A and B are shown apart, each in its own frame.
Chain A
Amino acid sequence: MNNCLCIFKKELRSYFSSPVGFVFIIFFILVSNAFFFFVQDFFRQGQVTMRGYFAVLPWIFLFFVPAITMRLWAEEKKMGTIELLLTMPLKETEVVFGKFLASFAFLAITLLFSLTVPITMFYLGTPDVGVILGSYVGSLFLGSAYLAIGLYISSLSENQVVAFIISLAVIFVLLLVGIAPLYLNAIGSFASVCEYVSLLSHFNNITRGVIDSRDVIYYVSVIVLFLYLNVKTIEARKWK
């Protein structure tokens, strides 16, 4: 656990050791607010609800989260520091989990800065607290699933740009399967399988204000699966 914490601190610090981390946060806040207040024209709606904000969030995360995770392994592999890191007395699981936690913390910090939006809501009227709270929890689940996927894909490449693009593509597909069947008029079990697999449909359930154990189990499974694959990929270096 101490080792995990040590990796966590190192990775989190490295987000803020250069301006890149701050640029990411500012970029995220600008884009998400611009969408909500201007593109969706919040002030003309006459409703104090953040539904619009959370509707675009999965698509903003699509670009934002792979950018957070892309360097976590790719950089270690490219610089060769992976060799020093993995010859320290650490378990692979501890390193993977430490890195995941650091990226999660960075995402959570970013979301903290978006709290200006709900504060604005409370200033303007009386929004539904439960829905907003639930949506934030849902965003963290959704973001964590993206992070686990991005972190895993970063471990497959030593090129950050490649890691970014492939993560984005994989997440994009996992989002689309939730919508595509509706447009293709698919019915029956195929559509429901697609819907179950999609990262998006579970998020939509949560943002309606109901945190269902099925959705939580889905996200936890995705996270555990990709972290497990990540550990296995790192262990596989020994046998190459």
Chain B
Amino acid sequence: MIHVEGLTKRYGQSLAIDNISFHINKGEVVGLLGPNGAGKTTTMKILTCFISATAGKASINGHDTFDEPLQVREQIGYLPESCPLYHDMDVSQYLSFAAEIRGIAPDKRGRAVSRVISDCDLSKVTHKMIGHLSKGYRQRVGLAQALIHDPKVLILDEPTSGLDPNQIRDILDLIKNLGQEKTVIHSTHILSEVEATSDRVLIINNGHIVAQGTPRELMARSSGTTVFLTVKGQDAQAQLAAAEFVKKAEKIGDGKDGFVRLALQAVEQRDVALDVFQMAVTKGWQLTELKAETASLEDVFAKLTRG
């Protein structure tokens, strides 16, 4: 559905994105993840044909963003960052304007407008001026205009920024629902949002894609499970380090009465706490702490974008 090949954008001297390539299949929900200034917005602006790439190609549903911008724009619904809207229009006026400009036939416009009003839960504010709406409602109006022509592809730039936790959950639920029949790209720097909604994650840093995969795959890619234990026993550290399920055993502190605190890196995605416990039982060690921690997407993200 979306093909991006070697996309590069240079603003004067600075390189916003550098040779990015990715493919997004039909019906996928993809989270574009990265710190501020990583190139997420630039990528989206190129996909929506608002700006042109310095080099490389991008196409949506077979239409090139450079050669056929109008066809590309017909396919997509776009919610720009910070959700710009005309403050001097009321919600229904604005949505009919969006419907008209999207080329929806006059007799179908009313139905399209009422569909997005109910989908985005805007019925309470239909006749209010957009300038008088709260941030949460404005965001929903922005989403409503992106959905008015029932596009195949949705491009949402930080759809949850500036919203309260309840509103964030509403928007995420909406994205998840939309993802059942549409291809969605949304950007964020909040990781739990990607975990909750996306089939796949692209992590961008400094204009490069540093990782991609399902949230699970990405988590697995990091150091895996770490088990913390405080143990007392003959050569416990050495024996644990030699065990087949342990990659590395590190002493991280001394306890009282000959106890040592160890951090074990497990070999793979497997709950090794049980193995450790079994081993302690058979060897007759004493355990006062046993805790397994799986790396979160946060850890992966920090590792990839700080490194």
| A residues apposed to B, CB below 8 Å | 2-3, 6-7, 10, 14, 17-18, 79-84, 86-91, 237-240
Quick check: is B215 within 8 A (CB to CB) of the other chain?
no
Are B52 and A238 touching (Cβ within 8 A)? yes
Quick check: is B57 within 8 A (CB to CB) of the other chain?
no
Choice from A18, A88, A239, A240 contacting B73 with Cβ under 8 Å: A88
**Which one of B19-27, B97-105, B115-123, B294-302 contacts A?**
B97-105
Query: What are 15 residue pairs bridging A and B, where the CB atoms are less than 8 Å apart in the complex?
Result: A3-B101, A6-B101, A17-B89, A18-B88, A80-B84, A81-B84, A84-B145, A86-B50, A87-B48, A87-B50, A88-B98, A89-B71, A89-B74, A237-B50, A238-B50
Considering only CB atoms, which chain B residue lies closest to A86 in the complex? B50
Residues of A within 8 A of B50 (CB): 83, 86-87, 237-238
Are A87 and B70 touching (Cβ within 8 A)? no
CB distance from B73 to the nearest CB of A (A): 4
Chain A facing B: main interface SS: helix
Residues of B within 8 A of A3 (CB): 101, 103
Within B74-89, the residues touching A (CB, 8 Å) are 74, 76, 78, 80, 82, 84-89
A6 to B85, CA, bound (A): 16
Residues of A within 8 A of B112 (CB): none
A165 to B262, CA, bound (A): 72
| B side interface size, CB within 8 A | 28
Most chain B beta carbons < 10 A, residue from A17, A88, A240: A88
CB distance from B90 to the nearest CB of A (A): 9
Are A81 and B86 touching (Cβ within 8 A)? yes
CB distance from A5 to the nearest CB of B (A): 9
Residues of B within 8 A of A86 (CB): 50
Residues of B within 8 A of A10 (CB): 86, 89, 97
CB distance from A23 to the nearest CB of B (A): 15
Given A238-B52, A239-B52: A91 touches B86 (CB 8 Å cut-off): no
* Shortest 3 CB-CB contacts between residues of A and residues of B: A80-B84, A238-B52, A87-B48
CB distance from B187 to the nearest CB of A (A): 14
A222 to B112, CA, bound (A): 42
Are B78 and A84 touching (Cβ within 8 A)? yes
CB distance from B15 to the nearest CB of A (A): 14
CB distance from A4 to the nearest CB of B (A): 11
Considering only CB atoms, which chain B residue lies closest to A20 in the complex? B88
A183 to B121, CA, bound (A): 68
Quick check: is B29 within 8 A (CB to CB) of the other chain?
no
